[in-house]
Structure 1
Amino acid sequence: MTQTQQIKTKVLIIGAGTGGYVAGIRCGQLGLDTVLVDGSAGLGGTCLNVGCIPSKAIIHAAAKFETVAKAAGDGTLGITASQAAIDLAQTVAWKDGIVRKLNVGVAALLKKAKVRVIKGWATFADAKTCRVETDDGPITITAEHVILATGSEPVELPFLPFGGDVISSTEALSLDAVPNKLVVVGGGYIGLELGIAYRKLGAEVAVVEMADRILPLYDKALTDPVMKWLTNHGVELHLGARAGGFGDGKLNVTTKDGEPLQLEADKVLVTVGRRPRTKGWGLENMGVAMAGPFVKIDDRCATNMKNVWAVGDLTGEPMLAHKGSAQGEVVAEIIAGHDRRFDPVTIAAVCFTEPEIVSAGLGPLDVEGRDDVITAVFPLAAIGRALAIEAGEDGGFVRVLASKADHRLLGVQAVGQHVAELSNSFAQMLEMGAVLEDVAGVIHVHPTLGEAFHEATLRALGHAIHI
């Protein structure tokens, strides 16, 4: 019988995603004895291995392929090329190389911070003790502080279980060939990001969404340019529709009018959301209070159990990597004795669709019916940089919302090519409590897309220059 190794530590972190590994590095920097346990495929969790990073790599490759394909057709910008072709296996290998490089980087950072990393699946017996099954035998770890950072997992539909040709986003990022026909179940950001990428790569794509429009969490003005791209590029949309079972290469669908329909599919990509990973590691033995499916926390990321903390997707919406990282830093600093709270003004979100969508702070749906808000929109079609990089003709814009009384910025949104890079500027201004005059008073660099933010605030003040 293998003897169980015993470890005692100041801080025990479960999960090495963007919340867990950042918490680990910060704990190490602050001189806290820290053990990080991870049972996933690699350091960096979902985001680095099978989410944010690899999906953006595939999206980038798809955009390059689309450009070459245009040149091989009627030409683009005077550029012509021979027939475009893609070996998706090679593309995936390139993507995997990026992931490996980042895995190694995270491992090096944790080592530098003197964090002990243990690979294996942890199961808690009580709030401060867990057993980890490793390749070298079991380990029991007891800690003064526990940080739960177990992340989330794709939601599986009971009538469309994952397996074979029914895939989640994870499998969609590692296909060895472009499917001829791809059906995406779920018209949220994950499904549309990948659906659009595969359409660019040459697949016939259909989207089945229960709501009456795509990206239902965003207002229609933001999603209209994406809808226009989908329509112009032959993506088949079934809105207000319900997916059923899949067999013999056909997905059963009930349309908005209640009519049965069968969609041919080589692959069915199910992206109907993500849920916190709360099963299989002994959460029920910890005495931690829940808030629906999520672990309940306060503004210090503390649970109801003393010195048990939770960060990231496990703690609720928005389920975004950068939220988890910020929470991880806060918790590490609190454990080290600092007075910290997790109380951001905004957590900006980006959809890497075509075109991209950014939202920070309040949007029109949040202020509907209010007469104390100024709203101003500035089109990218009036921005020289946008026209020069073919980003001005798809209906893109930047929109600001501000208080009429004191001109305090309440929200900023944008839709258009490359607008993801404006998201930090939006969040920064909101976090600093900027007023319209603050943004208007910053000399914005020409020629850049960021000028649209400047002009939108000028327009809100009644004196935009270029419109």
Structure 2
Amino acid sequence: MKYDLAIVGAGPAGYIAAKKAGDEGLKVLLVEAKKLGGVCLNEGCVPSKTLLQAAKTYYHALHGEAFGVEVSDVRFNFEKANAHKTKVMDGMREGIVGLMKKRKVEVLFGQATLSEGRKITVDGETHEADNILICTGSSPSRPPIPGIEGSNVVDSTGILELEQLPKSLVVVGGGVIGCEFACLFGSVGVPVTVVEALPEICPTLDPDLAKILRSELTKKNVTFHVGARVEEISGSEVKFSVKDESLTAQGELILVATGRKPNLANLGLDNLRVDYDERGGIKVNERCATNIPGVWAAGDVTGRAWLAHAASRMAEVVVHNITGRKDHMRYDSIPSVVYTSPEIAVVGLTKEQAEERGMKVTIGKIPMSINARYLAEHPGERGLCKVVVEEGTRRLLGVHMIGGSCSEMIFGAAAMLETELREAEIDEIVFPHPTTSEVMKDVFMAVR
């Protein structure tokens, strides 16, 4: 059968592309090897953030004295938290099924293999398409550490399948994923040790934010070792060295969170002669087109952004270009969030990134504690809002925040960057009072 668009992978890129293409009247085929929703819905962001919210609720109940809330015998029921997680996932998956049915998208489950002439074979049946979108996502990567195949060693997928809390946890890798799980388990009383190879956790973030996050997570049963080289995993013991000192960390469970890799195997990409980039992902241009006409790629499989919402935006760009609307990716205005407590939310450039591009910049930063709403809702929690501004034009280049509610505020900063607002224009925006969002206006008082 011939389709206008065949999509391989039904994650945040795939089902969004199918939805938009269906809205445009295209005949669409959507192929998924596992479950609708992809890694994000079934093995990543949705289940992990649901459990993080459960842990946060428990932690707030346990430490509610500052609000005058005094309770005894507070317990965290991991079984019920998992049941809630499953309910959320099932509901979202059913929603995707409804979206596809409404738009008459044909959904096939199985392994897709691509071949020349924009052909796609699923379970022995071959289909043709004018356009093919590859969005097969990514998988956890595992470094070559001796002992990493141990039965008590899990990745970010395996840890979400736990039925009971571990007595202790060692996290190898202090990036975003590692810190989120450290926060989750530490908040409910599990002693956590994070071992990170680089000098600071979450190394892609603004250094001020990473430093505050590390400090705040130590209040939640989390111990950090940075600049640490893991040498071996032996049973429940992780052996590592910091400078010339040999150290060990004990954990009933060991989580390896050292990054992800694009899912490229068994797709037949070599048959298409698709180019790859230096990161190992499918190489695409700003329109998400590959070097092969009619073949597109979006999401983690491209090795860019590694965010579900970035994948969805890339999918939109693909469909827009297929249907004649000029559109392209603007990665600098895509926000990202670390769902720890406190949260981190960022969009745009850091000072260092801007200077690497030859820009002259100035920064402004203020503590979240100058904000009344933040003080009322987050007593004792450190927070920071930091902006990067281009010197000559006073154009906003980046916003970097740590503190409660940041994930719900960052979209406003993303809109400012997308529309290239200047400091004077932002000064004219009215923010409701009292809200934590006011810090995004107040921070400009500190810009020098």
TM over 0.5: yes
- Structure 1 residues without counterparts, runs of 5 or longer: 1-6, 463-467
In structure 1, the residue matched to 2:210 is 223
Which of 69, 85, 103 matches 1:113? 103
Q: Which moved more, 1:340-349 or 1:202-211?
A: 340-349
User: Is 1:428–2:415 an aligned residue pair?
Assistant: yes
Letter in 2 for 1:10: D
Give, in angstroms, the shift of residue 122 of structure 1: 0.9
Letter in 2 for 1:144: D
**Conserved? CA contact 1:156–1:162, under 8 Å:** no
In structure 1, the residue matched to 2:91 is 101
**Conserved? CA contact 1:440–1:458, under 8 Å:** no
User: Is 1:284–2:270 an aligned residue pair?
Assistant: yes
Which of 367, 377, 380 matches 2:365? 377
Give, in angstroms, the shift of residue 84 of structure 1: 1.8
Instruction: Give the 5 Å matches for 1:387-406.
Output: 387-390=375-378, 393-406=380-393
Superposed CA deviations along residues 364-389 of structure 1, whole A, max 9, x for unmatched, are 22245978322111221110000110
**Conserved? CA contact 1:400–1:456, under 8 Å:** yes
Q: Using the alignment, how far apart are the partners of 1:87 and 1:394 within structure 2? A: 26
What secondary structure is seen at the aligned counterpart in 2 of 1:399? Answer: strand
Letter in 2 for 1:88: F
Q: Using the alignment, how far apart are the partners of 1:35 and 1:265 within structure 2? A: 45
Instruction: Give the 5 Å matches for 1:16-415.
Output: 16-40=10-34, 42-71=35-64, 75-126=65-116, 128-133=118-123, 138-159=124-145, 160-161=147-148, 164-251=151-238, 253-292=239-278, 293-368=280-355, 372-390=360-378, 393-415=380-402
**Conserved? CA contact 1:313–1:324, under 8 Å:** yes
**Conserved? CA contact 2:174–2:196, under 8 Å:** yes
What secondary structure is seen at the aligned counterpart in 2 of 1:295? Answer: coil
What secondary structure is seen at the aligned counterpart in 1 of 2:247? Answer: strand
- TM-score normalised to structure 1 length: 0.91
**Conserved? CA contact 2:351–2:361, under 8 Å:** no
Aligned-residue Cα RMSD (Å) equals: 1.8
Give, in angstroms, the shift of residue 395 of structure 1: 2.8
Letter in 1 for 2:121: R
- Structure 2 residues without counterparts, runs of 5 or longer: none
What secondary structure is seen at the aligned counterpart in 2 of 1:10? Answer: strand
Superposed CA deviations along residues 198-219 of structure 1, whole A, max 9, x for unmatched, are 0011111000110011111123
Q: Using the alignment, how far apart are the partners of 1:341 and 1:218 within structure 2? A: 25
Letter in 2 for 1:383: N
Q: Using the alignment, how far apart are the partners of 1:83 and 1:126 within structure 2? A: 64
Which of 450, 454, 459 matches 2:437? 450
What secondary structure is seen at the aligned counterpart in 2 of 1:173? Answer: helix
**Conserved? CA contact 1:123–1:130, under 8 Å:** yes
Superposed CA deviations along residues 421-458 of structure 1, whole A, max 9, x for unmatched, are 11101110010010011111111100101100010124
Q: Using the alignment, how far apart are the partners of 2:45 and 2:395 within structure 1? A: 32
What secondary structure is seen at the aligned counterpart in 2 of 1:366? Answer: helix
**Conserved? CA contact 1:344–1:431, under 8 Å:** no
Letter in 2 for 1:386: Y
Q: Using the alignment, how far apart are the partners of 1:43 and 1:97 within structure 2? A: 15
Superposed CA deviations along residues 197-254 of structure 1, whole A, max 9, x for unmatched, are 1001111100011001111112321112211112333422111112233333222x22
What secondary structure is seen at the aligned counterpart in 1 of 2:353? Answer: coil
Q: Which moved more, 1:102-111 or 1:309-318?
A: 309-318
- Give the 3 Å change call, closer, same or farther, for CA 163–120 of structure 1 in structure 2: farther
**Conserved? CA contact 1:14–1:150, under 8 Å:** yes
Q: Using the alignment, how far apart are the partners of 1:324 and 1:122 within structure 2? A: 20
**Conserved? CA contact 1:354–1:417, under 8 Å:** yes
Q: Which moved more, 1:343-352 or 1:214-223?
A: 343-352
**% of aligned pairs identical?**
33
What secondary structure is seen at the aligned counterpart in 2 of 1:123? Answer: strand
